[in-house]
Structure 1
Amino acid sequence: MQSFLDPAILFFVFGLLAGALRSNLEIPPQIARFLSLYLLMALGLKGGFALHQSGLTMDVAVSLGCALLLATVVPLLGYHLLKRVLSGYDAAAIAATYGSVSAVTFITAVQYLDNHNVAYGGHMAAAMALMESPAIIMAVLLANMVRQREKEQSLAAESRTVRNTPLSRILHESVTDGAQLVLLGAMVIGIVTGQSGHDAMQPFAGDLFKGMLAFFLLDMGLNAARSMSGLKGKSPWLLAYGLVGPLVHASLALGLCVLLDIPAGNGALLVVLAASASYIAVPAVVRHAIPEANPSLYIGMSLGVTFPFNILVGIPLYVGVAQRVLG
C-alpha cells in the first residue's frame, strides 16, 4: 500500500483514470520525448557516478552476463509458446517486445529502491542497455525464417514475397537508437567526471528527477489507458500472457540471481528488467522490420496490460520477493 502513496505512482493512476474517462488531457509528444531523454540521461549519470566509485568488479561482470542471458532466453521461450496460438510474425513481434525491456519501468523501480533505502549497483543501468537489442535481432531472424518457409510452401510466392529485413540494418538501428545512446553517453560522462561531476549535476540529475518522473508517468498512464482499447475482442490467451508472462520471466531471473549469488538490490532490478516489456524501442523497429505483425497486439499488450501491472503491482512484488530470497 505504501507504494501507492508515492506521488509518481499516483500520477500514473491519475493518467489511467483520465484516459479511461476519455479526457482531452494530453502531454505534447515533444515534451514526452524530452522527459524520456531527461530520465535516461539522469539515470545514466547516476550509474556512471556509482561506477566511478565502485569500479569494474566480478559482481558487475556477473550481473551484466546474467542480463545478456535473460535477454536471449526470454524471447526464445516467448516465441515458441506464442506461435502455438498466433502467426509466426505476431509471435516474433510479441516475443521481441517481452524479451526487450522498459526503461520507464526500470527507472520507476530504481526510484522505488531509493525510497526504501535498498542498495544497488550503478552498473545496472548498463544491464538495461545491454538487454535492449538481443530480442529485436532474434525477432527479425525468426520473422525472416517464417518468410522463407512461406516462400518455399507457396505456389504463388512471386506475388506475396516480402523481402527479408537485412540484419545489418537492424543492428545499426539497435546500436544507434537515440535513447540508448543518451543513456550510455551519460554513463560514460559520469564515470569520467566522478565526484566533481556528481556535485555539479546534482540539481539536474538528483533534485529534479522525482518530479520529472511523475510528469512522465502521467503521460504513460494516459497512453496505457488508450492502448487497452486495441485489445478488445482479442484472444484471452493474450491477456493471460501479458499478466502471467512477466511473472514467469521474473521467476527465471530470480532463479539465476540465486544461482549466481547476486545481491538483493541488483537482483531486484534484474527481475524487474526480465518482467518488463518494451513499448517504444522495439515497436519502432518492428513496425518496419516485421510489417506483417499486428501493432495493436504487441503495443496494446505491453503498454495496456503489462506496463500498468508492473508499475502498480509488479515492482513492489518483485522487490519484496528479491529481498526475501536474496537478502
Structure 2
Amino acid sequence: MTMLDPVLLFFLLGLTAGLLRSELRLPAAVYDLISMLLLLAIGLKGGVELAKQPFSALAWQTLAVMGMGSLLALLAFGVLRFVGRLPRADAASIAAHYGSVSVATYAVGVDYFTNRQIDFEAQMPLLLAVLEIPAILVGILLARGLSRDMRLGVVAREVFLGKGIVLLVGGLLIGWIAGPEELAPITPLFFDLFKGILALFLLEMGLITAAQFGSLRRYGLFLVLFGICMPLISSTVGIAVGLGLGMSLGGTAMLGILAASASYIAVPAAMRISVPEANPTLSLAAALGVTFPFNVLVGIPIYHAMATHAFELTGGLGP
C-alpha cells in the first residue's frame, strides 16, 4: 500500500491532528458504531467464503495458530524481561499484547490485498478470532503462575464474551449460514462501504496513537526498538507457520501480518482484570504508539515481500 492510499492518509490526518493537539475527535458513539461495522464486515466476508471450504483442515490450522500465539507471547516475554529488564508483571502484560492480534491491522491488510487482487484463505477471520485467546492465558500464567486467585472465570468471560469476539464470530456465523444471496440486501453497508468505514476507524486510531507518544518519551528507546523489531520477528514466525500449513502466498503473508500485529482492545481489558499491578501505559505505548503505525504504514508491504521471498525459496506449499 502506497503512502497515497486514502485509508492511510486518514490515519496520518488523525495522527497529525493529535500531535498538534487539535480539537478533532470522533464522538464515542460514532467510534463504537464504526468499530462494530468493521468487525461485522470482516466476519460476514469470512463467513461467506468459509461456507465454500471443507472443514477437515480447520482444526489443525486453528491449533497451530493458537500454538503460534503462545510462542510469540513467550518470545516477547523473554526479550522484555531479560533484555529490557522490565518488572515481571509489565513484561507479561506487554507480551500478551504481542502474542495476540490487532483487528485494525488485519483490516488494513485485507484492503492491501484486495487492492492488489491477491487472494487469501477464507478462514483468516476465524484464525483472527482464536489468536486473541492463547496469549492472554500465557500472559496471566507468566505474571501469576498457577494460583487460586487467577480469576480465570472472569477473564474467560472478558475474552469469549467481549464485544470484539462476539461481533467477529457472530459475523462469521451469519455469513456462513446466510450465504451471499441472502446477504445481498445488506451488502452495500457491510461490503461496499468497507473502505470508508476503515478510513473513519483509522482517523480515530491516529488520534489515539498520538496520545501515546508522551509515554514513549517517558519510558525510553527500548519500547520503540521493541515495538519495531518484535513485529519483524513475529512476522517471520507467522510466515513459517503459513508455509508449514500449506497456505497460499496471500494466506501466508496474511498470517505473517496477524503474527506481527499487537492487540490493544481485548488484551488490555483482560490484563486489567488479572494483572492489575501491570502498567497499561507501557503496553499501549508500545502496541499502539509504535507497532500499529509501523505495521499499517510500512510493515504490511514488508511482510508481503518476506512471504513472496519465502515462497520463491521454498517453491511454496500452498495452492
Q: Same fold (TM over 0.5)?
A: yes
- Deviation digits for residues 27-66 of structure 1 (CA, Å, limit 9, x no counterpart): 11221111111100011000000011223243x4454333
Percent of aligned pairs sharing the same letter:
39
For 2:72, the equivalent position in structure 1 comes to: 74
For 2:43, the equivalent position in structure 1 comes to: 44
d(CA) in 1 for partners of 2:140, 2:288: 21
Q: What letter is aligned with 1:76?
A: L
For 2:215, the equivalent position in structure 1 comes to: 230
1:293 deviates by 0.8
For 2:13, the equivalent position in structure 1 comes to: 14
1:79 deviates by 1.2
For 2:113, the equivalent position in structure 1 comes to: 113
Q: What letter is aligned with 1:182?
A: L
Q: What letter is aligned with 1:303?
A: L
1:206 deviates by 1.3
- State whether structure 2 residue 196 is matched by structure 1 residue 197: no
SS at match of 1:300: helix
Task: Describe how 1:1-327 pairs up with structure 2 within 5 A.
Answer: 2-58=1-57, 60-84=58-82, 85-145=85-145, 164-326=149-311
Which moved further from structure 2: 303-312 or 63-72?
Answer: 63-72
1:263 deviates by 1.0
d(CA) in 1 for partners of 2:307, 2:186: 31
Q: 8 Å contact 2:158–2:269 — kept in the other structure?
A: no
For 1:155, the equivalent position in structure 2 comes to: none
d(CA) in 1 for partners of 2:239, 2:281: 30
Q: Cα 1:63–1:264, aligned 2, differ >3 Å: closer, same or farther?
A: farther
Q: 8 Å contact 1:63–1:262 — kept in the other structure?
A: no
SS at match of 1:196: helix
Q: 8 Å contact 2:262–2:287 — kept in the other structure?
A: yes
Q: 8 Å contact 1:246–1:306 — kept in the other structure?
A: yes
Runs of 4+ in 1 over 4 A off after TM superposition: none
d(CA) in 1 for partners of 2:55, 2:291: 33
* Max Rg structure: 1
SS at match of 1:261: coil
Q: 8 Å contact 2:101–2:259 — kept in the other structure?
A: yes
1:205 deviates by 1.7
1:243 deviates by 0.6
d(CA) in 1 for partners of 2:184, 2:218: 53
d(CA) in 1 for partners of 2:151, 2:169: 25
SS at match of 1:233: helix
Q: 8 Å contact 2:228–2:294 — kept in the other structure?
A: yes
1:75 deviates by 0.4
Q: 8 Å contact 1:18–1:25 — kept in the other structure?
A: yes
SS at match of 1:83: helix
d(CA) in 2 for partners of 1:110, 1:319: 12
d(CA) in 2 for partners of 1:285, 1:214: 28
- Deviation digits for residues 192-249 of structure 1 (CA, Å, limit 9, x no counterpart): 1112134232212211111111011000011111111112131322211111001000
Q: 8 Å contact 1:190–1:197 — kept in the other structure?
A: no
d(CA) in 2 for partners of 1:25, 1:200: 34
SS at match of 2:101: coil
d(CA) in 1 for partners of 2:79, 2:258: 20
Structure 2 residue ranges without an equivalent (≥5): none
CA-atom RMSD in angstroms: 1.7
d(CA) in 2 for partners of 1:3, 1:67: 29
Matched residues, number? 310
1:165 deviates by 2.8
Q: 8 Å contact 1:12–1:218 — kept in the other structure?
A: yes
1:288 deviates by 2.7
Q: 8 Å contact 2:212–2:289 — kept in the other structure?
A: yes
Which moved further from structure 2: 283-292 or 126-135?
Answer: 283-292
- Deviation digits for residues 284-313 of structure 1 (CA, Å, limit 9, x no counterpart): 221232111111100111110000000100
1:14 deviates by 1.0
Structure 1 residue ranges without an equivalent (≥5): 149-162
Q: What letter is aligned with 2:66?
A: L
d(CA) in 1 for partners of 2:121, 2:186: 19
